[in-house]
A and B are shown apart, each in its own frame.
Chain A
């Protein structure tokens, strides 16, 4: 059964069509990777799925429920968690408070009910040593980790990761992959936009390629990466 299903979703900003008749579905428990050149509309697609922006046409269903016009807050309650491509921490709150606000509101529970879970997510994402520091003072790696930790704090059924490995060293990337794999192993469905292909393909079971807002291919990673049009569009390889 698909946890997420998009049918003919389109979105334009003025004359520019950034999402063009996109349709795909993601089975529950699967990890789907999304690739495409810069400006292909990947982050806009995430914003449409999370409700941060609303589509002009088409429909989005989450767990068989039509959420096309449902605001971001309600989609979070339903189980959609996300990270942002450019980290968006709550700068004046501490790292721990960033997770608390997400857990208390995303799960609609009290501080007492969520505080142990938040502390454990900080441990899992290696943010515990900076738990009491304001988020404004974090390094890039820590900010990326915080993005994922905050999304996990909402206890999502579907986790959307937007270029979470960008700018990380190889060692940092390996640690991040381990964390994502352990989250996925718990049954969380993952959709991951990433340019670091080796990281992406080590986790995902399917790849979707986006170009000029259109889906040009979806399938097993090996099959997709060997397609001539994908190599030309995405990797810039003349075949």
Chain B
């Protein structure tokens, strides 16, 4: 093989100037958001909780579909199972709701294993419909569990919500009632979960398994022939996505404090809206769901009073974006500006490229 000893060595880089600025701004933004409860009203805190939890759900669906190539419409299964596991831990085992959130993630992984066993035998649209059917089975199953309210649902015990970890301290520091303190606590947890989710997915995509994941999405047979364990990558992504979605589901229902099978396993709330967010923002990018959730929240705020017209408008906007900008709003922005805030491309330079 020819090598020229006089040419400089090849260099591989992933950072861009925009990404370095974005990293600094992201740290500053998280710092500002940590202190938001000191100067924001309860309404804004609740809105931010909604945005952050939907962002987490969108990032995990994007990991599954955008990077893993597994288009699921059954993510509500993991939101619902995560939420019900948290309720089970509180009502049946007497746990505090905050540590019980971890049970939500664990339960989602446990149900994801048999789900994957069946769903991985299906391809494309059959996989999508299969995951939806499994989620419906879980909804109907939870409706039979009388200890957790059966079909009509139940609420967290008043003692559990009143004595929730750290709420007394928050109520004292902010001089607010217990329910407002719970909103602040769940907001902080949502912020931590969103920041950790984005950081973890970004780290994954820049790693060796992340590169393999992209290869499997593009061509599983070719990936196998270059030594990639395509099956293990699919399992890893599916279970990771289920874990994160289960945590988010449990957290959402700590804040709501009331659950029913229809709400916790809602395909509209936990999958259709999430799909809209990712598709509008840009599938297969970390930036896409961030843009998408902001657009979704603004549309919801503007159109909330228009009933079913709201859903109709969301559908029309989704179709128009898919036709005009198949890579979403972030795709349009990067096409015009070339900016990447979370670059994962490994760029080769140096060597004969510089001569």
State how many angstroms separate the Cβ of A79 from the closest Cβ of chain B. Answer: 11
Q: Which residue on chain B has the smallest CB distance to residue A96?
A: B348
State how many angstroms separate the Cβ of A70 from the closest Cβ of chain B. Answer: 12
- A100-B226 in contact (CB<8A): no
- A88-B348 in contact (CB<8A): no
Interface mask (B9-39 → A, CB under 8 Å = 1, otherwise 0)? 1101000000000000000000000000000
- Taking the complex as formed, is B215 at the interface, i.e. its CB lies under 8 A from any CB of chain A? yes
- Taking the complex as formed, is B227 at the interface, i.e. its CB lies under 8 A from any CB of chain A? yes
- Taking the complex as formed, is A33 at the interface, i.e. its CB lies under 8 A from any CB of chain B? no
Interface majority SS on A: helix, strand, loop or mixed?
helix
Known: A52-B225, A102-B226. A119 touches B351 (CB 8 A): yes
State how many angstroms separate the Cβ of B239 from the closest Cβ of chain A. Answer: 20
- A116-B353 in contact (CB<8A): no
- B214-A93 in contact (CB<8A): yes
- B345-A124 in contact (CB<8A): no
State how many angstroms separate the Cβ of B331 from the closest Cβ of chain A. Answer: 12
Complex partner residue of B224 from A73, A92, A131, A132, CB under 8 angstroms: A73
Known: A52-B221, A82-B225. A92 touches B284 (CB 8 A): yes
A75 to B338, CA, bound (A): 40
Complex partner residue of B215 from A82, A90, A119, A122, CB under 8 angstroms: A90
A-B contact sample (17 more), CB < 8 A, given A81-B226, A128-B351 = A52-B224, A71-B224, A90-B214, A91-B219, A93-B211, A96-B347, A97-B345, A101-B226, A104-B212, A106-B226, A106-B227, A115-B348, A116-B10, A120-B1, A120-B3, A123-B352, A124-B1
30 contacts between A and B (CB under 8 A): A72-B221, A72-B224, A73-B224, A73-B229, A76-B225, A77-B227, A81-B226, A89-B218, A90-B214, A90-B215, A91-B219, A92-B218, A96-B347, A97-B214, A101-B211, A102-B226, A105-B208, A106-B227, A108-B227, A110-B208, A111-B12, A115-B10, A115-B12, A120-B3, A124-B1, A124-B2, A131-B353, A132-B345, A132-B347, A151-B226
